[in-house]
Structure 1
């Protein structure tokens, strides 16, 4: 029942997103095909792109045609390259997925130890230091941190490449070296955000009745911390982690531009610059689907972490 209800909500959301995405082209002042072609304009190319994009049909027919094609995976063709939008998105998706998951792993490795230490040492120097570092991590711009990491590890030390992406299937070692700097850049700011949530969640759980009961039974502090505190503190952290992951999958535009990372964010950035509206439409739809999938998985994880939460 829960799955069916969530699928129903997802369909409603996707229907609304499809309407907004479809309206994107028609809200742009002027002819989007003409704007996209720019100085490359010629009548034959113009007519071919309008026909391929379905813009020569009545508006209502255009929408239902667009919706039907989207349901079958046909998101149109790029104004800039003439390639199918679906193919362009699938080419960029592996780079975005790898960057997002590695960055989230780095963020968790930062957030959980620091947030827990700050909560256990509330009001002590360690708490002040962690809060300062988390505020610093949130405040430092991604592009500045990325440039500094390139200057240190690529230009000065020569340890890591400054740009580019190597698929994991081609060379795992080269993939790891190419992803470390952009993932650390993204993971630092994400970890700083999550550190504050971990600290607040652990503090709230430490004052709960079941934790006091566990301590009164004489359980070791380590057992209380692992079995009773951290597990219950995971629920709000999962929410924040899911939101952060969805945002990363949507494309971290600035970081991808700095490191020439061939992900969805870079694709959307280039498409906006070139006014390639079919690619923008397809990317927005894909990002919306990723958000819905992650939110669904987060809801399922709730019940696994906290048995009191029933689906």
Structure 2
């Protein structure tokens, strides 16, 4: 057996697990429209209802066919990227989701970078100074960040940087490919909002992970050999604390990709979270279905990447 075989087997098992979970999510998403009380098409049309429009929308959505045929059609469509059409504007759901995805990816990407910049140094410092004043101060600040609602932080940032200082716009979105400078100016406040909250959560996990590793026997052995503190922290503590830190980072990134709805509403950010909010308000069930499915797929993709990184950081995970 080659050294590569356990890695390939580990990745294959995670891919199979991801596919099974995604199939289960697809079944639940399909059932969503049939579990809604009343006729979803009639509810979605509201005051726009007419018999002709009603029948046309039911036919376009495939809701006039038997349940089994609808599921097989939805399954086949999901595999090929066809998630139906919106009740609200008749556009393909896939195109609507892809149009919103870049905004979500950019916000989540910048947000998780800010969270890591906050959490890694502060969590490590608090762990290395456990029980001292700096540890207590960092724990108090992180607890404050966890407890305060993200929309309140967002409103404070808007008041300070937009209303008082006039440095940054309070809302709106510009794609990075169109104008990188304007994109950066507009993504800063919402990303800082979610980054501060996620960073506060992650700081506590980093602190706990570093404390746990620092008390290990091999760390004490390294210190007894006369290795410098920087070498011990960087080579022995840092790498071995990465697995739990990677776990919470993946969870926070997946949460951001799922759409921080309140933050997106506050900053008028056109991401998947804002799309879900608008779709629920307008009873646009095909878009809700598609958004839930895409968010689940993103969440599973992040988990898969994290699992693979586990095996890279600690080979014992894939061998087990």
Aligned ranges for residues 1-311 of structure 1 at < 5 Å?
1-310=9-318
For residues 269 and 175 of structure 2, the distance between their equivalents in structure 1, rounded to whole angstroms, comes to 12
For residues 179 and 26 of structure 2, the distance between their equivalents in structure 1, rounded to whole angstroms, comes to 38
Stretch moving more, 9-18 or 92-101? 9-18
Q: CA deviation at 1:307?
A: 3.4
5+ residue gaps in structure 2? 1-8
For residues 220 and 108 of structure 1, the distance between their equivalents in structure 2, rounded to whole angstroms, comes to 25
For residues 154 and 211 of structure 1, the distance between their equivalents in structure 2, rounded to whole angstroms, comes to 48
For residues 205 and 116 of structure 2, the distance between their equivalents in structure 1, rounded to whole angstroms, comes to 11
For residues 62 and 76 of structure 2, the distance between their equivalents in structure 1, rounded to whole angstroms, comes to 12
For residues 229 and 276 of structure 1, the distance between their equivalents in structure 2, rounded to whole angstroms, comes to 50
Indicate the RMSD between aligned Cα atoms, in angstroms. 0.9
Q: After superposition, give the CA deviation of every residue in 1:45-91 in whole Å (9 maximum; x if it has no partner).
A: 21111111100001111111111111100000000011000000000
For residues 199 and 152 of structure 2, the distance between their equivalents in structure 1, rounded to whole angstroms, comes to 17
For residues 41 and 15 of structure 2, the distance between their equivalents in structure 1, rounded to whole angstroms, comes to 35
Q: How many residues align?
A: 311
Q: After superposition, give the CA deviation of every residue in 1:99-156 in whole Å (9 maximum; x if it has no partner).
A: 0010000000000111011101111110100000010000111111111111111111
5+ residue gaps in structure 1? none
| Residue of structure 1 equivalent to 2:3 | none
Q: CA deviation at 1:309?
A: 2.8
Q: Residues 154 and 266 of structure 2 are in contact (CA less than 8 Å); yes or no, is this contact kept in structure 1? A: yes
2:41 partner SS: helix
For residues 32 and 316 of structure 2, the distance between their equivalents in structure 1, rounded to whole angstroms, comes to 43
